[in-house]
Amino acid sequence: DQQVKQNSPSLSVQEGRISILNCDYTNSMFDYFLWYKKYPAEGPTFLISISSIKDKNEDGRFTVFLNKSAKHLSLHIVPSQPGDSAVYFCAAKGLTGGGNKLTFGTGTQLKVEL
């Protein structure tokens, strides 16, 4: 079963506008969430994270929002830039087992158009 879901396989946004990427999870034992960006032929690169005790974390153009009751998080990129075009993965860490292993969603391909 897919414990972390990214239901939008792709998203297209104009340069300068806001990009909103969504992620839903089913396991209430997840306590830490991360977003990664991935370019072709490269490994995922860490972007931003949030603990389950918070509802917002901001870092420059990137903001992550967490709604625990809805088991939903989102990544906002403002303003979007062409260099942001990549695949974005949502990942979650559980409270128990596997050390700090991460469970990933299937990714959303973001395309920022000029």
**Residue 4 touches other proteins, criterion: CB under 8 A:** yes
Stretch that binds other proteins, among 13-21, 68-76, 77-85, 87-95 (CB under 8 A): 87-95
Q: What is the dihedral of CA 52, 84, 59, 67, to 10 degrees?
A: -30
Q: Which two tokens stand for residue 64?
A: 């992550």
d(CA 108, CA 10): 5
**Per CB under 8 A, which of residues 14..43 are in contact with other proteins?**
32, 34, 36, 41-43
| Smallest gap from residue 78 Cβ to other proteins (A) | 22
49 binds other proteins (CB under 8 A): yes
Length in residues, the chain: 114
